[in-house]
Structure formats: structure tokens, C-alpha cells
Chains A and B, each alone.
Chain A
Amino acid sequence: MEEHGFLEQIQESVLGFVRNEIFDPSAGIETDTHLIEAGLDSFSLLKILVFVEKTFDLRIPESEISEERMCSVGNISALIHELLEKK
């Protein structure tokens, strides 16, 4: 139960940032929205990586920065969760 709650917290935080600060809030980004199709570019990716570093004290390694792992808030959150577990 606790594990599930932690992932949800990560999702909430990432979703808030991506929905309001990367895209226009009116775009209505959800956890499963395909961010690359929605227009995620390299500067948006940069902002997300800096946000993750600051918020979770976590540097996502280059080997994990792929289309599959970064294509939605859900996937990014799962990646953060997985990397934090390993820490």
C-alpha cells in the first residue's frame, strides 16, 4: 500500500509540473498522454530533467533517457520510482 502511495505522489508532482509548466494547462495533459506526440521537444525534456534533479535529488542517467521511458508522465514517474528504489 505504502509503495503504491509513493508512486502516486511522484506522479502527482510530475503531472503538476508537466501539465502547468511544460504545456499550456488548457492542453489537459494526463498521466497517460503521449508527451512526444503532444510536442515534447529537447528544451521541454531539459526542463523535466532539471525538475527531477531538484525535486527528487535524482539524476536520470543518459542510458534511461529514451522515447519509451520518457513518453508519458506515467512512464517518467515509474522511472523515477525505480531509480529511487535503487538509490
Chain B
Amino acid sequence: MNLYELFKDTASRYPEKTAVVEGNRSVSYRDLDAVISVLAKDLEKLGAAPGQMIGLCFANSIAYIALTYALWKIDAAVVPVDVDFTEDEIRQVCDRMQLAAMISHKGESGWVEARCPFIDTPYYFRSMDVYSGLESDIHIAFVRFTSGTTGERKGVVLSHERIAERISAVNRALNITPDDNILWILPMSHHFVSTIVLFLASGAALVLAGGIWSKSILKTVNSGHVTLLYASPFHYSLLAADQSGLMMPEVRLAISTAIGLPGHIHERFSGRFGLPLAQAYGIIEIGVVCINTENPGGKPGSVGRVLPDYRVSVENAQAYSGPEGMECGELFFSGPGFFDGYFYPRIDEKSALINGWFETGDIGGRDKEGFLFLYGRKNHVINTAGMKIFPQEIEAHLNRHPSVKESCVYGRKHDRFGQTVAAMVVLNSTAEETDEETLRRFCSRSFTAYKVPSQIFFTDHIEKTATGKIIRPGEQEG
């Protein structure tokens, strides 16, 4: 099975229907299929081939979608690369993910410039000449690169088959039909396989938001006859504060994802638009396993009951205490469409799961009716507006600065963005005077903006365990 075939099948059923709207331009399913087909041939001429891993560094656009499906059509795997990655980060993706080629929205010397047919969007292609293809018994469609220090697992591998399984499981909650128009605002490089693939397999239209500002979003929602919103709490907080008086009469469902939905945002949004906000819980390894479409108003703060195709287990409950009547512990899930393992070092699915169960690392609670609530993380991964950051990666970089003796990076609780990145730094006794801005700029050169610590505190020692492991501050109030 191939996800392109899934799309093509939908395109042949609804050829005239709008598939994607971007500003003043819209493409029908038939036209998008034509773009994909020509693009696939062009990419093959440029050197793309079956079995290759190809990086895709592009902003949200019709071109992003067409390039992804064109790569799938030629049986290459897509590795999304953030558009604001630094050169260091891009180099890391290319090496670790063994990319055979890269497609980007911008090119330098050595890149071949080409244009997407019909939609006329330029793109740039570069072969890496190092890796030609992978020997794999899995039909890889997508690998989400996860950065980190040595020893951490990198690259979540998803096959065509698994993606198809997960979209069918999530659609039991969303019930997407060809009558749906979905407002798209989240970065496609982070959200694609559980959502966009589903929407385009269902004959729905994707309406790409032109900006994050409430006025322009509301205009797009109304002109695009949007029926479903899929956005982060921050977007909803801006919409909730809108004073234009514009409503969203055609929206049937608004879903909040990426970070936990603060209660006050839910209240304000519902109050402003008369619509409940359904909180979703998704992880790249396993897909979207919960969406509180059932009772978002009555169970605020809950991600809902586990979707029908999945099972949840609350483990190690003896170590956690929670509110009365709530079973609290570490959340494990099992079900269809889970990932096919990690790419580097290669760990297959069987070894990555524990008897078929995925350990999320999230601490949560389940009430008597089975509604799940999320409380925090077992490990120290920082979640800033949905972007996951490994503190060890930032520490390793900070420690390379000549003035830094050691550092400790951790998440500080933030009501708008979930968490922000903070660092405690011990300077060398002989160090020249170094200030916060200097260290932040040192980080900016190597990291994309969301990874750069927003706050750096100078201290004279960092607490450690008896074995020398850093004791990171728990979630601190910001």
C-alpha cells in the first residue's frame, strides 16, 4: 500500500472538489493529483529514487503537500526539516538520517532550481552523493527526526501501512467527510501524518491560514467555510481575545493540540464563540490516541477517553497520588498504527515497545468514567508550544562555550506556551565576563529559536546525585 494511492483514490472519487486553499489560490483534487504526478517525474529526473530518504524543508503551502505526495509516489521517504533550522541542525539531519537528497524552499550554489508544475512555486533540490538508498524490509513513508545527544533515540520511522492504520483510528473521533473544510495553521513539518493525510484521504478541503493573527484567521474561517479548527492553545487564546465581533457559524469542531489546554483559554474561547474546545493527545510514535469530542464542556482539562481502537494502561500507580477517585500513574498505550521503530540507532518496533505497549513518559490520571487527564512528564523533555526539546542537547552545546564550566537546562512552566527553556550556568573561575545575551546568541547560532533558553541564570554550583547526574529543577513556576 502507498499513501499516494490512497490520495489518488479519493481524487478519482471527488475530482472537482477543492483539496487545498492557499490565499487566493485553490486546487481541486484532480489538479493536485496532476501537480503531484508531474512533480514525481521531475524529482526522478533530478535524482530522487525509491527507497531513498529525502529531506523536505518547506513552509506550509500547496507545494509542501504536493512534494510530500510526489516523493511517496516514487516510493521515497520524507524527512521533514524545520524551515528555521540552523546550518548545524540541517547538517545533523542529513548525517544522522542518511539523506540521499534535500528539497528546500531556498537554495545556494550546488542546488538545482526547479518549479512545481501548474502552481509555479520554486523549489531547490540537492543530491547528497553519500547515501543512495536504504535496505529495509519496511515500506518507509516518513521519518520524524528527533535531535538530541548521543545515546538518545533519533528518527521515528513510520511506514505507509502504519500511517493508514492510524488515520482510520483517529477518524472514529473526527468523522471527516468531503463536506469538511479544515483550517490549517500548525507547521506541516510537525503535523502531517495523523491529520493532513486523513483530511486528503477523506475528500475534505484544507484551508491554509495566512497568518496567526485573529483578524486574518477569522476572515479565512468565514471565507473558506471552515467546519473544523485544528490549532494550539496559543492560537485559541488570540482568537478568544478577538474584538471584531466576527463569529464562526460553520465550525462544528475545534480541536486543541500540541500542549495542555489551560482552563481559562477554554472558558474564554467557548464564551466568545459558543463552541467547546476538544483537547487532543497525540504523540508522533503512536498517533492521536485521545480527543475529547465526547464531553469537552463537562470534563474541562481532559483529553477524553481513549479512542475505540486503542487501550490505555495506568502503571506504577503506587508512586503517584492524585485527586480523589482518580487513578494516577504513568500512561502506556497499545493499538494500531504505532511507529515502526527508531531509525538511529536502528531499533525495531518490537524492541521499542514493551509487550506491545508504548511508554509515553507522561504522568496522567483516569477518572471513574475513563476520562484521561495529563499532569506532567516522567522525564525532563521540555515541551514549548508543542516542540519537544531534550535538555541534554542544549547543555552539551552550552558547555562548549569557553566561559562555561557546566550547565543545567530545564523547563519552566509558562501559561501560554506550556513551558519555556531555562538554563542555570556555572562559569569558569578564570572566565571573562559573559552575560546572558552572549550565551543566548551562542545558542542561536546552532539552534532554532524555540530551543534557545529564554532565561539563563548564573550560579556557583549545580546540584547532582551521588553518581554525578544533574538534578534538574522540577517544573518551576515561571
A50 touches B454 (CB 8 A): yes
In this assembly, does B401 line the interface, its C-beta being within 8 Å of a C-beta of chain A? no
Q: Number of B interface residues at 8 Å Cβ cutoff, please give it.
A: 32
Q: In the complex, what residue of chain A is closest to B385 when comparing beta carbons?
A: A46
In this assembly, does A22 line the interface, its C-beta being within 8 Å of a C-beta of chain B? yes
User: Which residues of chain B come closer than 8 Å to A49, judged between CB atoms?
Assistant: 416
Give A63 to B237 CA distance when docked, in angstroms. 9
B214 touches A66 (CB 8 A): yes
In this assembly, does B450 line the interface, its C-beta being within 8 Å of a C-beta of chain A? yes
Q: List the 6 closest A-B pairs by CB distance, nearest first.
A: A62-B241, A63-B241, A67-B213, A50-B454, A42-B212, A62-B237
Give A80 to B455 CA distance when docked, in angstroms. 20
User: Which residues of chain A come closer than 8 Å to B216, judged between CB atoms?
Assistant: 67
Contact with A along B446-462 (1 / 0, CB 8 A): 00111010110000000
A36 touches B211 (CB 8 A): yes
B449 touches A42 (CB 8 A): no
Q: In the complex, what residue of chain B is closest to A42 when comparing beta carbons?
A: B212
Q: How many whole Å from B206's CB to the nearest CB in chain A?
A: 18
Q: How many whole Å from A86's CB to the nearest CB in chain B?
A: 17
Contact with A along B436-454 (1 / 0, CB 8 A): 0100110010001110101
A66 touches B211 (CB 8 A): no
B243 touches A41 (CB 8 A): no
In this assembly, does B234 line the interface, its C-beta being within 8 Å of a C-beta of chain A? yes
Contact with A along B355-397 (1 / 0, CB 8 A): 0000000000000000000000000000011010000000000
In this assembly, does B417 line the interface, its C-beta being within 8 Å of a C-beta of chain A? yes
B454 touches A47 (CB 8 A): yes
Q: Given contacts A51-B454, A62-B241, are A41 and B416 in contact (CB under 8 A)?
A: no
Q: Number of A interface residues at 8 Å Cβ cutoff, please give it.
A: 22
B414 touches A50 (CB 8 A): yes
User: Which residues of chain B come closer than 8 Å to A62, judged between CB atoms?
Assistant: 237-238, 240-241
In this assembly, does A33 line the interface, its C-beta being within 8 Å of a C-beta of chain B? no
User: Which residues of chain B come closer than 8 Å to A9, judged between CB atoms?
Assistant: none
Q: Given contacts A43-B450, A46-B450, A62-B241, are A21 and B214 in contact (CB under 8 A)?
A: no
Q: How many whole Å from A8's CB to the nearest CB in chain B?
A: 19
Q: In the complex, what residue of chain B is closest to A47 when comparing beta carbons?
A: B449
The secondary structure that dominates the B interface is: mixed
In this assembly, does A65 line the interface, its C-beta being within 8 Å of a C-beta of chain B? yes
Q: In the complex, what residue of chain A is closest to B82 when comparing beta carbons?
A: A43
A54 touches B454 (CB 8 A): yes
Give the contacting residue for B238; candidates A36, A44, A54, A65; CB below 8 A.
Answer: A65
What are 26 A-B interface contacts by the 8 Å CB criterion?
A: A16-B437, A20-B437, A20-B444, A21-B437, A21-B440, A22-B449, A41-B84, A41-B212, A42-B212, A44-B449, A46-B384, A46-B417, A46-B450, A47-B452, A49-B416, A50-B414, A50-B420, A61-B241, A62-B241, A63-B241, A63-B242, A63-B243, A65-B238, A66-B215, A67-B211, A67-B216
- B224-247 contacts to A (CB < 8 Å): 234-235, 237-238, 240-243
Q: In the complex, what residue of chain B is closest to A71 when comparing beta carbons?
A: B213
User: Which residues of chain A come closer than 8 Å to B420, judged between CB atoms?
Assistant: 50
Contact with A along B398-414 (1 / 0, CB 8 A): 00000000000000001
User: Which residues of chain B come closer than 8 Å to A22, judged between CB atoms?
Assistant: 449
In this assembly, does A45 line the interface, its C-beta being within 8 Å of a C-beta of chain B? yes
- B311-348 contacts to A (CB < 8 Å): none
A42 touches B241 (CB 8 A): no
Contact with A along B417-449 (1 / 0, CB 8 A): 100100000000000000001001100100011
User: Which residues of chain B come closer than 8 Å to A65, judged between CB atoms?
Assistant: 213, 238, 241
Contact with B along A27-58 (1 / 0, CB 8 A): 00000000010000111111101110010000
Give A35 to B212 CA distance when docked, in angstroms. 13
Q: Given contacts A41-B84, A65-B238, are A54 and B417 in contact (CB under 8 A)?
A: no
Give A55 to B237 CA distance when docked, in angstroms. 22
B234 touches A42 (CB 8 A): yes
Q: Given contacts A36-B211, A54-B455, are A43 and B243 in contact (CB under 8 A)?
A: no
B452 touches A46 (CB 8 A): no
Q: How many whole Å from A85's CB to the nearest CB in chain B?
A: 20
Q: In the complex, what residue of chain B is closest to A21 when comparing beta carbons?
A: B444
A66 touches B440 (CB 8 A): no
Q: Given contacts A20-B441, A50-B414, A50-B454, are A45 and B212 in contact (CB under 8 A)?
A: yes
Give A30 to B420 CA distance when docked, in angstroms. 27
User: Which residues of chain B come closer than 8 Å to A61, judged between CB atoms?
Assistant: 241
B215 touches A46 (CB 8 A): no
B234 touches A46 (CB 8 A): yes
Q: How many whole Å from A43's CB to the nearest CB in chain B?
A: 5
